[in-house]
């Protein structure tokens, strides 16, 4: 009995290694494809709404993708307008940065006895081949931008095709299963789409609220181009855990470079702390909630695994994909134990979210 259980466990581990190995090797193919599938699930309600208005499937699918493009285009335009204002201040920022570097050299000279001339010589030695490195960096950036552009087009094409041929793909999944499992498979497909829509929709609403809060907070403490940094911090929330810290760190560094006023830097940090408290104890339980119903340990673990396999794209996609996997586990008996392990303890499930939700629903 023990040997049989060990063999089954070993097979599962080997299967996981094989799956993640294939995902890692095939990342250039699977990342745009997965983004397309997730976005298609998110846009399905829009497509259904358009079809109920009398549009055919092809036109409704195309307009759904166009709506997504308009939202992304509007966001890029907003960032571009704010960035143009920031670029106009680059000369002032450069002067401030040069002043900070000069003060740092002065501190090193007085503390460690290394003269400014020696410091400059060390810097030049470390920057040997600077032009070649700069040229290589520019080439790498251009190549990365071209790759991102191609992937973006692929994602849009995949999104349209997934929406347009959704009935065909659903029929294919049902053909793989016996007839007695068709009802369960339909429930899984329906629940996977619903959970993804609820999670990503809630996340989008929370990001908009973060834009408002960061924008107000950064404006009050005196951050220049506050709207740009508010939008940046909100967008980086798509990368769990690391995103908000990265956005705030960039804002702190830019505030220090722009004004050099420590009060502004402290204000940015206080704003970040206040927004995080509101986000953790109000926004996440109320807007995002426990829609994915995943144990926090496995949430963190899947994000780490996603980063190792697919980089930043893996961190963004990891949580909704784990939520879909849990739905599959909960609906197929051989995987029920894995679904139980991934889920939260029943006695602690949704306590904070239910409390906040009940608080805001009082009086209905």
pLDDT over 60 (residue 302): yes
Instruction: Lowest mean pLDDT of 41-55, 128-142, 243-257, 310-324, name the range.
Output: 128-142
Residue 359 pLDDT? 45
How many of the other CB atoms lie within 10 Å of CB of 88? 10
Cβ-proximal residues to 255 (8 Å cutoff; 6+ apart), any chain: 223, 224, 261, 264, 265, 268
Where b means 16+ CB within 10 Å and e means fewer, 270-280 reads ebbeebeeebe
279, 280, 286, 287 alpha-carbon torsion, rounded to 10°:
50
pLDDT over 50 (residue 143): yes
- DSSP classification of residue 223: -
- If pLDDT is split at 50, 70 and 90, which confidence band does 37 have? very high
Instruction: Lowest mean pLDDT of 7-11, 50-54, 77-81, 248-252, name the range.
Output: 7-11
- The residue count for the chain: 364
Residue 67 pLDDT? 93
Distance of CA 323 to the CA centre of its chain: 15
**Regarding predicted confidence, which is higher, 45 or 126?**
45
The span from the CA of 253 to the CA of 246, in Å, is 11
Residue 60 pLDDT? 94
Distances (CA, A) of 159 to 43, 78, 109, 339: 9, 24, 58, 28
Residue 88 pLDDT? 62
Prediction pTM value: 0.75
Coil, helix or strand at residue 60: helix
Give percent of the chain above pLDDT 70. 78
Residue 185 pLDDT? 85
Unique residue bearing structure tokens 């704010």: 82
The span from the CA of 278 to the CA of 138, in Å, is 40
Segment 191-215 mean pLDDT: 86
Q: What mean pLDDT is reported for the chain?
A: 79
Question: Helix, strand, coil % (nearest 5) of the chain?
Answer: 90, 0, 10
Coil, helix or strand at residue 18: helix
Residue 49 pLDDT? 93
Q: Which two structure tokens, joined as six digits, stand for 98?
A: 């040069």
**Regarding predicted confidence, which is higher, 175 or 115?**
175
**Regarding predicted confidence, which is higher, 246 or 359?**
246
Q: Which two structure tokens, joined as six digits, stand for 324?
A: 């879909």
Burial classification of residue 97, based on how many CB atoms lie within 10 Å of its CB (0-12 exposed, 13-18 middle, 19 or more buried): middle
Residue 114 pLDDT? 74
């Amino acid at each position: 009995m023990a040997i049989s259980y060990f063999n089954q466990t070993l097979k599962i581990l080997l299967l996981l290694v094989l799956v993640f190995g294939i995902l890692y090797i095939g990342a250039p193919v699977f990342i745009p494809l997965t983004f397309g599938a997730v976005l298609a699930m998110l846009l399905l309600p829009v497509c259904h709404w358009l079809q109920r208005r009398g549009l055919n499937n092809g036109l409704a699918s195309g307009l759904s993708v166009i709506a997504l493009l308009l939202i992304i285009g509007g966001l890029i335009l907003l960032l571009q307008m704010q960035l143009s204002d920031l670029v106009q201040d680059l000369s002032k920022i450069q002067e401030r940065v040069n002043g900070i570097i000069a003060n740092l050299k002065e501190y090193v000279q007085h503390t460690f006895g290394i003269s400014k001339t020696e410091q400059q010589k060390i810097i030049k030695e470390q920057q040997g081949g600077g032009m070649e490195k700069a040229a290589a960096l520019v080439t790498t950036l251009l190549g990365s931008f071209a790759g991102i552009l191609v992937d973006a087009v692929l994602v849009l094409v995949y999104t349209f095709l997934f929406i347009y041929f959704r009935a065909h793909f659903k029929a294919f999944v049902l053909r793989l299963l016996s007839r007695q499992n068709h009802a369960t498979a339909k429930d899984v497909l329906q629940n996977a789409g619903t959970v993804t829509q609820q999670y990503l929709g809630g996340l989008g609403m929370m990001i908009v609220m973060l834009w408002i809060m960061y924008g107000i907070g950064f404006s009050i403490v005196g951050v220049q181009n506050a709207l740009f940094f508010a939008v940046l911090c909100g967008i980086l929330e798509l990368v769990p855990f690391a995103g908000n810290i990265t956005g705030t760190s960039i804002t702190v560094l830019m505030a220090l470079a722009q004004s050099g006023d420590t009060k502004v830097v402290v204000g940015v940090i206080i704003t970040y702390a206040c927004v995080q408290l509101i986000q953790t104890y109000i926004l996440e339980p109320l807007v995002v909630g426990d829609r994915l119903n995943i144990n926090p340990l496995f949430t963190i673990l899947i994000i780490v695994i996603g980063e190792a396999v697919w980089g930043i794209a893996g961190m963004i996609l990891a949580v909704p994909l784990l939520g879909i996997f849990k739905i599959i586990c909960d609906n197929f008996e051989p995987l029920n134990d894995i679904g139980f392990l991934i889920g939260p303890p029943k006695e602690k499930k949704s306590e904070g979210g239910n409390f906040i939700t009940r608080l805001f629903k009082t009086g209905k």
